Amino acid sequence: MGQRVLITAGAGGIGLAVAKAFAAQGASVHLADIDADALAAATALDERITATRADVSRAEDLDRLFADVQQQLGGLDLLVNNAGIAGPTAPVEEYPADAFAQVVAINLQGTFDVTQRAIPLLKQSDAASIVTMSSLAGRFGYPNRVAYSTTKWGLVGFAKTLAMELGQFGITSNTIHPGAVDGPRIMRVFEGRAAVSGRTVDEEIASAMANQSIQKFIDPDDIAALILFLAGPHARTISGQMFPIDADAKAAQ
């Protein structure tokens, strides 16, 4: 493919699955992540994968990141905005204000800052794309996860605005809305829910599966395959859209 790809939070989970999928297709992939050990492991997988340790909420880290992107990739064809944190599990009246601000700083402000810096590079591409990771919580309300849901809804408006502003440059912008993605992160979510509800983790998992038409966790490789398509030649007129990949979930709980 020869694409040049930047993935935030790219050293594990969905981000790493996307990195491996694009590298396997011949793309040059640069990862940003706060986990230095995970980045070292990821770059050892394929010579096409390079990395910068960076926190998307820190301007100095983004300065270093985009200097590395320019040096390693020489430009950019795809930005995957994957960085985000879940925040605590608590009802709104008990939700810590500083925790809310931290979730906003990473999920919304960090995504804005990365994208703003990436746009001049994307404009130089003949077929550029931005894919932003929202969530099932970006389509439904999410009890006890107000900061997460608020920011994931906010990313939809952000991505749709990008689609309108950048369409004239041939740049597409879409959001992906995963449900319960298989891996350690979703288990931590179920543990948090159990702590609030008083139910067991297994009971929380059963409740989540009952909310879905297809009783399965989401495979990160399936999300990667969707992003491959959205960044590919057959999706150049698909923009401003929301793509659920959630086993037909009926709510974010």
Confidence at residue 193, expressed as pLDDT on a 0 to 100 scale? 76
Tokens 């009783």 found at: 215
Query: What does pTM read for this prediction?
Result: 0.93
Confidence at residue 190, expressed as pLDDT on a 0 to 100 scale? 82
* CATH entry, 4-245, from 3.40.720.10, 3.40.50.720, 2.40.10.10, 2.40.240.10: 3.40.50.720
What is d(CA 98, CA 102) in angstroms, rounded to the nearest whole number?
Answer: 6
Confidence at residue 184, expressed as pLDDT on a 0 to 100 scale? 77
CB-hemisphere CA count at 13 Å for 42?
31
Tell me the mean pLDDT per 10 residues along the chain, length 253. Answer: 94 97 98 98 97 98 98 98 94 97 98 98 98 96 95 98 98 96 80 84 84 91 98 98 94 72
Q: Is 142 in the active site? A: no
What is d(CA 52, CA 220) in angstroms, rounded to the nearest whole number?
Answer: 22
Catalytic site residue from 148, 190, 217, 243? 148
What is d(CA 44, CA 108) in angstroms, rounded to the nearest whole number?
Answer: 30
What ranges do the domains of the chain cover? 4-245
Confidence at residue 253, expressed as pLDDT on a 0 to 100 scale? 61
What are residue 111's phi and psi, to 5 degrees?
Answer: -65, -40
